[in-house]
Amino acid sequence: MKVLILGGGQLARMLVLAAAPLGIRCQLVDPAAESCAAELAPWHQIPWQALPERDDLLEWADVITFESESVPAEVLAALAARRPVYPSPQVLAKGGDRWLEKQWLQGLGIPVADHRCVQSLAELQTAVAELGCPAFLKWRQQGYDGKGQWRLHEASDLAEIWQQAEGRPAILEAGVAFEREVSLVASRNTRGEIRCYPLTQNLHRNGILVCSEPQAADPLQAEAEGYARTLLETEQYVGTLAIEFFVCEGRLIANEVAPRVHNSGHWTLEGAQTSQFANHLRAICGWPLGETTLIAPTAMLNLIGRWPAEPAALAEAGTHLHLYGKAPRPGRKVGHLTLRQPDQAQLTRQRQRLQQWLEETGALPAP
């Protein structure tokens, strides 16, 4: 099988690494000036709008997939007329726009926070009056890892915040008093087979994911799987996705859908029988999905901004390092550590110890 991956970042890199043992050949397309996946597979720097004219790449590929929502949905639709594209352009159009995404989830019976569409300062002022504070202003498209998002307080200067938002179409979400943040990663193949991973508990700082830890027996697993299966089956979704949730008074409220492999599923590389990347490739190739069960207590720590030169983490048993080949930069994900231990107590001690070390060395933001 030959897979054309749209995007050349760390998710594409890990897809290529997962493809090799399966005998899948990959090529990459990305309009950016650099690609951290380019050292692993042929990379083509092509503007998205020019891609449908590249007959050489389209004739080479058996199937096309993407690693981020930055690919225009209309480009995916043009590609889908020539080759199978998974997930579908229709799903990307919904999942890549926060306003459409909220309507989509509500239509499926999946709870979301109260929200308003905002396209002007006057609409922002009206929305804040209706929803109150705290609230969050988010660009409808793009924006991740804390970018394109603003927390609004009672004393917020709305005119200044709207100026920072550059007047781009946005949504205002009511603040949710949540007890924890979780996500569910799931895969569905072309045959309709579905596999769900254990619900994962996440910790964010400054809008960036810091730590993910799968839960062996989370009481909300069945509820999360029910929502995921509804979405996957209704959309005839093919590939891996993640749904982020807030836990409020013991129930789930959906935050976002990522129609792709996801940062909170990186623990699956060492912690699950089959990684999210391998299952995504199996799914889009029409192959049987692999087991998603948890091997042992596992956690993932992101490396943000830099990777310390000291090899202290590698000296610890059960620690696995993944570097993405990216130059250090504040707020940038340059890699992650996966931790796996025989029991939960050992994992908790190791995670806390390494998290503190990463904070002290500047590879994690301090609390």
Whole-Å CA distances, 162 to 118, 165, 166, 259: 10, 5, 6, 28
Mean pLDDT by 10 residues, the chain (367 residues): 97 98 98 94 97 97 95 95 96 89 95 92 88 88 72 83 86 90 98 98 92 96 98 98 95 95 98 98 98 98 88 86 93 95 96 93 88
Indicate whether 77 belongs to any domain.
Answer: yes
How many CB atoms neighbour CB 343 within 10 A?
A: 9
- Ligand-binding annotation for 166, yes or no, is no
Quote the pLDDT of residue 4. 98
- Ligand-binding annotation for 255, yes or no, is yes
Name the one residue in this structure whose structure tokens are 């399966």.
22
CATH number of the domain within which 19 lies: 3.40.50.20
Residues 236 and 343 in one domain: yes
Residues 72 and 187 in one domain: no
Quote the pLDDT of residue 316. 87
- Ligand-binding annotation for 145, yes or no, is yes
Residues 190 and 118 in one domain: no
Quote the pLDDT of residue 144. 62
Amino acid letter for position 32: A
- Ligand-binding annotation for 181, yes or no, is yes
- Ligand-binding annotation for 101, yes or no, is no
Cβ–Cβ under 8 Å, residues 5 and 27: yes
- Ligand-binding annotation for 94, yes or no, is no
Quote the pLDDT of residue 308. 85
Domain end position, chosen among 124, 153, 174: 174
Indicate whether 106 belongs to any domain.
Answer: no
Indicate whether 366 belongs to any domain.
Answer: no
Residues 245 and 139 in one domain: no
Q: In whole angstroms, give the CA distance from residue 197 to residue 215.
A: 10
Quote the pLDDT of residue 305. 93
Residues 128 and 10 in one domain: no
CATH number of the domain within which 324 lies: 3.30.470.20
Domain that holds residue 327: 180-360
Indicate whether 94 belongs to any domain.
Answer: no
Residues 236 and 320 in one domain: yes
Residues 132 and 218 in one domain: no
- Ligand-binding annotation for 333, yes or no, is no
- Ligand-binding annotation for 175, yes or no, is yes
**Buried b vs exposed e over 79-102: b needs ≥16 C-beta within 10 Å?**
bbeeebbbbbbebbbbbbbbbebb
Whole-Å CA distances, 48 to 7, 42, 86, 331: 10, 17, 17, 26
Residues 243 and 341 in one domain: yes
What is the model's pTM? 0.93
- Ligand-binding annotation for 283, yes or no, is no
The count of domains in the chain is 3
Residues 300 and 217 in one domain: yes
- Ligand-binding annotation for 97, yes or no, is no
Residues 226 and 163 in one domain: no
Residues 159 and 246 in one domain: no
Residues 206 and 242 in one domain: yes
- Ligand-binding annotation for 318, yes or no, is no
- Ligand-binding annotation for 144, yes or no, is yes
- Ligand-binding annotation for 282, yes or no, is no
Quote the pLDDT of residue 168. 87
Indicate whether 192 belongs to any domain.
Answer: yes
How many CB atoms neighbour CB 106 within 10 A?
A: 13
- Ligand-binding annotation for 174, yes or no, is yes
Cβ–Cβ under 8 Å, residues 238 and 260: no
CATH number of the domain within which 147 lies: 3.30.1490.20
Q: In whole angstroms, give the CA distance from residue 54 to residue 64.
A: 13
- Ligand-binding annotation for 206, yes or no, is no
Quote the pLDDT of residue 226. 98
Three-point CA angle 346, 340, 15, nearest 5°: 160
